[in-house]
Structure 1
């Protein structure tokens, strides 16, 4: 017997088809999420940080964050671990509730992939900003991971 129910969304999502979010700094694209792929346990995205850019300090009260750098060298600061470089081919984890910030003090773009899990009970509870955001970004709220389509 075959499954004849059509999925609400495709399991394949192109990063180029997702609008970039620059509100917190860098260019964040939430590629696989409740909104884009009906995920239920977390979300995954890409991050591009140009020379001199940063992603403002924040923490996630419900989620761990996993970051893997695919090109360039990202500088990260995570409470309890200090400040450290993360080179292409390396990753790091941010424990639940730990403030963290990343930036690019090099001369080439940094590209990374990130994953957060588990999801917060509601999107607006998933992200707490702890420093002013770059260039007029709003200071509260969650990335647009959204709720799954119905």
Structure 2
């Protein structure tokens, strides 16, 4: 009887461990990063093309170009690529300032923020980004409005 108990106890522990490991595996799979936006934008190469079209649009846009007069174009572009890539679920890591710090004292209005968003939409259209993907990226960027807009 003692051996039977041990055998059943061992079977129970084995089944329990299998169930737990299966549960952990399923949970780990569900926690994987969704990179569908990143893929839809054309990965880092596609995001770089979008940014390469976006930055000149910003600089030509008289509604907002004064905010960018002192920026270093290459550094700014690299930060945008990393930021968009990270937000889109890609492997990049944005290492720039947080949005509060980066825009402190700039007196950016909702109209300015919307102008920038329009320019981004144009850049994505220039790169044939499907509207469903463009909308998803804009939705990821929308929460930045609060720390950027100050008036």
State TM-score, norm by structure 1: 0.28
Larger Rg: 2
State TM-score, norm by structure 2: 0.28
Of Structure 1 and Structure 2, which has the larger fraction of its residues in strand? 1
